[in-house]
Structure 1
Amino acid sequence: MLLSLFNAVELGIIYAIMALGVYLSFRILDFPDLTVDGSFVTGAAVAAILIMNGVSPITASFLAALAGFLAGCVTGILHTKGKINALLAGILMMIALYSINLRIMGQPTLSLLNESTIFKQLESIWEATGIDAALNGMLTFFGADRLPPTWSVVIVMILVTLAIKLLTDYLLKTEVGLALRATGDNQVMIRSLSANTDFLIIVGIGFSNALVAFSGGLIAQHGGFADVNMGIGMIIIGLASVIIGEALFGVKTIAIATLAVVGGAIIYRIVVAMALRVEFLETGDMKMITALLVIIALVAPKLLQARKEKKRRLEKRARLNQEKVGEV
């Protein structure tokens, strides 16, 4: 059970980067971008093929993000310059990316089990320092369980994800970031102030898909493979993370909102891991679990708000009745 939760947290931290990308497109720009299902695989495909050809895993991961940025920019161009509906532009790019990803990979699946990845390098570094052996020795001495083999990966990924979160916070507080937020709120108003909304949308969707592709590259290295179908339903996972995070932690400020997205991604993976431990549920039920989580996250806050409003009305009515009795 503990190992399952640990693995869920590990995956949740990596998927949180993708969720931040979805947050930028759906919440900041109010752009229903379905490119995500394709750009996630693009990131995995680019990272995998580069690593297999001897490129450094770190360099490959950043190039994967660049590929995602270009894919997002094309979606933005289709919408702004081609005047194609935002939803349709994302669908068209997602379909095109399927063929592009196959071209990049050369086959439906690539294996990275025998290749050097970021995570393998991190584990080797920690083992070489002797920190891993020392900590496990201390835990054994006190009768505690040994650390999971990938605990060092979790620590590094927490730092990487927090760095991306802080970078996103900083970006959204700059002049360009404020213009992006204003574009999502009211394009007509920001355009009247001579802002180039087309450029902002293109760059914003590009940056969003860069984060998605970066996450895809990391997931491919974590799982040891890249598959052309691994992005199916990724947009739902991203939305579930965003909605769950917002429902639990709120969105009072940008910093809190992005932190909520990260927390939502981790909680989503934990809930899925726990749900899959139920006997009558199988791995194939993951999509259904995701749909139920999104429905609950959407409906529950509204039900609670309606309950609070009803209670407030009843209290107000009771107070008015008391005042009338007092007057009599």
Structure 2
Amino acid sequence: MNISVLGCGRWGTFHAWYAHKIGHEVMLWGREGSVHLQALSETRQNEYLTLPQEVALTYDLMAAVSHADTIIISISSQQLRSFCRQLAALGLDLAKKRFVLCMKGLEIGTGKRLTTVFYEELGTAMRVAVWVGPGHVQDFVRGIPNCMVIAAREMQLTKDLVTTFSSPLIRFYYGEDLLGTEIGAASKNVIGLAAGMLDGFGYGSLKGALMARGTHELSRLIEAMGGDRMTVYGLSHLGDYEATLFSPHSNNRRFGEDLITGKPFTKLAEGVYTVEALLELSREFHVELPICATVDAIIHQHKDPKEQLTQLFMRATKAE
């Protein structure tokens, strides 16, 4: 099968590497001037993996989209709306293709899920799914297996994509609740920021409480939005906690820790943006999100981190 990956960062290059590994013909696209694609063109390597010569590289978006029946999008979640407009401007019949969003986030300013943004810009007839769940590129390329989830509005599309991408390296599960899967996947990055802050203060033993309360507050939000509150306990959220709250490879955890210890951090930490969108949803659906509010107060309102975290975990006594 012909597969194109749009986006050549850490996860985009992994998806290209993985799709080739399991037998597909792969083209990887990067924006004109992308330093990531330039480096791959010169050495076939980045800091995470070596890309096989058989994976085609291109700056030509028309060529990449035309090449494939199945298209993986792996870019910053906040760029998705403008990127969808670029896709629409190509003038191709995109409804015949399958799209897989491999990002975890919500749109700032609207709180909208990524599939919602996709449908708004390209039409509700589009076939689009999300691919989320635990795992790190550094582990996958060493042959360490994991479980992930694919979810779509239509179960047949979910099943078809699971068949396309399953292998001994990644076992995929069918996501039956697209809304809960997307909210859970996006929000776990915010919990990761909080976990990193705890690490920065040497309060790692509080991560158990963070995990328990984090799943609880987000299950309430998912239910209020019309999803299944139990989805948060699956692979898209709780199942991704080890990779996000504990792993040294987690950008969100590292961001939170470095914020506390005063170290600069330059890589993408999606939770920084997602927390703003979650608070929009908190207000819209009248669901209290104390962990998200605390993370926002520290990162965006620049309030005292130790004071905010102490208040969070020492809130007024109440039933669990």
Interval of TM-score (by shorter of Structure 1 and Structure 2): under 0.3
Instruction: Tell me which of the two structures has the higher relative contact order, counting C-alpha pairs closer than 8 angstroms and 6 or more residues apart.
Output: 1
TM-score, length-normalised on structure 1? 0.25
Greater per-residue helix proportion: 1
Q: Which has the larger radius of gyration?
A: 1
TM-score, length-normalised on structure 2? 0.26
Greater per-residue strand proportion: 2
